[in-house]
Amino acid sequence: MARSALSNESGAHGGEGRLRYVAPGWVTAHLLNPVVARMTRWGLPLAGSRVLAVRGRTSGEWRTTPVNPLDLGGERYLVAPRGTTQWVRNLRVAGRGELRSGRRSEAFGAVELPAAEAVPVLRAYLRRWAWEVGAFFDGVGAGASDEELLAAAPKHPVFRLVGVA
């Protein structure tokens, strides 16, 4: 079962305040994520997953985690359903990363979206991935009003990827 932790950091979405992070439970951290990451590294992504690689903000070493990129309107996005995770913090500092699947690696730059711009991306993300991540959105789904999605946006950072096909 997932557990929540809050921090006093600020991001592009909501200014100062407490941002949410839902830590993965033991099964997710030690079984599910490693299996999804391994299959993606072998070139067998599950439902379009990729392995995100970002340089650590302190160590400078590559850190990896499975993610679900979203293609929308000719752009590609990453959404953090669990909130201000380590990969979000690292991507904010590094400003770039790689999406990997098998032998293919796509380098990209990342721009974090303000909450108002994140609303349509969150709606599309929930349409595509709610079966996997819906529990982290506290009852807000793809059919929610713009106001509800706008209220949820500060808890779920969204990045537009640039320089990636």
- How many domains is the chain partitioned into structurally? 1
Report residue 127's pLDDT band, with 50, 70 and 90 as the boundaries. very high
Helices assigned H by DSSP within 24-85? 26-27, 33-41
What does pLDDT average to over the chain? 83
Q: What is the dihedral of CA 109, 110, 111, 114, to 10 degrees?
A: 170
Which residue, 128, 111, 115, is CA-closest to 71?
128
Which residue, 25, 18, 15, 32, is CA-closest to 135?
25
Which pLDDT tens digit goes with each residue over 87-97? Answer: 999 999 999 99
CA distance 163 to 107: 7
8 A C-beta contact, residue 150 and residue 119: yes
Tell me if residue 23 falls in helix, strand or coil. Answer: strand
In this model, does residue 5 exceed pLDDT 50?
Answer: no
CA distance 63 to 118: 25
- Determine the pLDDT at residue 135: 87
The average pLDDT across 7-31 equals 54
What's the CATH code of the domain at 54? 2.30.110.10
Q: Which residues form the domain of 21?
A: 3-8+17-162
Q: What is the pTM of this model?
A: 0.79
Tokens 């991507």, residue located: 91
The average pLDDT across 31-39 equals 68
In this model, does residue 2 exceed pLDDT 50?
Answer: no
User: How far is residue 43 from each of residues 35, 100, 128, measured CA to CA in Å?
Assistant: 12, 9, 21
Helices assigned H by DSSP within 49-106? 86-94
